Amino acid sequence: MTPLLTVRTLHAGYGKITVLHGVDLDVKAGEFVAILGANGAGKSTLLKAILGMMPGASGQVSFAGRDLAGLATPRRVRLGIGAIPEGRQLFGEMTVLENLALGLYVRRSFGPPPRAGAMAHVFELLPRLAERKHQTAASLSGGEAQMLAIGRALIARPRLLLCDEPSLGLAPLRVAEMFQTLDRLRRSGVTVVLADQNAKAALRLADRAYVMETGRIVAAGTAGALADDPRLRESYLGG
Ligand SMILES: Nc1ncnc2c1ncn2[C@@H]1O[C@H](COP(=O)(O)OP(=O)(O)OP(=O)(O)O)[C@@H](O)[C@H]1O
Ligand SMILES: [Mg+2]
């Protein structure tokens, strides 16, 4: 079966600084893949390059059999790549419903599902959001705001969801909730790529994982094998 997402010899960076040095990655439809690595390893840069947000990137990124070269971010989103960006990027003065509606807007030319149906779908997956729908995003708790960022990505019905540190800044209980939500999404058929420093929790959910160090993939395998790898236990999993 051809993978849903294929990344080949991807190089990307900022200005003159190259950050990704030839990254290869494959994600099959329905898989949950974790990208692990310390601060600055290049996880966010990799996700941004897949979304078409890294000018000057070279290498190949294919999605659903289609080469994404030259496609700007909105086109990639319309093809079915959703993202929860680092730092959520919600509109604080707007309500939960308004923020969700923005997620629909990006896929308008794709022929979005009727608005009410799309909202209902999101509220079914994220029931807590329904109780908060008239609140402004700024008034949500950290965990609720993260749910909203997920909801805004999901409303466009992506086939692939790229999640950049969704657990960052959340209390332990909320982190657990967040991971449960991602697991539910996967079981609903969404393919998930999760970049997270919380390697233990990510490996519990993931089918496979890649480990990055200074812009390179230094280890890859099933989540089980990586969780048992002595080198990784020492550097990422707290011994
Ligand atoms: N906008 C930018 N301009 C210049 N350098 C950047 C920029 N963003 C990231 N970098 C650099 O690129 C490298 C990779 O950063 P990146 O954000 O991809 O790492 P990361 O693995 O996501 O780290 P973290 O776990 O802290 O989120 C780092 O050395 C970082 O300093
Ligand atoms: Mg990052």
CATH of the domain at 189: 3.40.50.300
Compute, in angstroms, the gap from residue 84 CA to the centroid of ligand 1: 17
In a domain, 68, yes or no: yes
In a domain, 10, yes or no: yes
Residues 54 and 11: their CA atoms lie apart, in Å, by 10
The β-bridge relationship of strands 208-213 and 216-222 is: antiparallel
The domain containing residue 227 runs over which residues? 5-89+159-235
Compute, in angstroms, the gap from residue 42 CA to the centroid of ligand 2: 7
In a domain, 128, yes or no: no
Residue 237 banded pLDDT, cuts 50, 70, 90:
low
In a domain, 126, yes or no: no
Residues 23 and 211: their CA atoms lie apart, in Å, by 11
In a domain, 129, yes or no: no
In a domain, 97, yes or no: no
Task: Please count the other Cβ atoms lying within 10 Å of the Cβ belonging to residue 74.
Answer: 13
Q: How many independent structural domains does the chain possess?
A: 1
What's the pLDDT score for residue 113?
Answer: 54
Range in 75-79, 127-131, 232-236 with the lowest mean pLDDT: 232-236
Q: Whose CA is nearest to atom 7 of ligand 1?
A: 14
pLDDT 10s digits, 183-222: 999 998 999 999 988 888 899 999 999 999 999 999 999 9
In a domain, 96, yes or no: no
Ligand 1 binding pocket includes 14 (Cβ within 6 Å): yes
Residues 206 and 127: their CA atoms lie apart, in Å, by 24
pLDDT 10s digits, 104-148: 877 654 555 567 788 888 998 888 899 999 999 999 998 899 999
Say yes or no to pLDDT of 87 above 60: yes
What is the pTM assigned to this prediction? 0.93
Q: Whose CA is nearest to atom 5 of ligand 1?
A: 14
Q: Which helix (H) or strand (E) holds 160?
A: strand 160-164
In a domain, 221, yes or no: yes
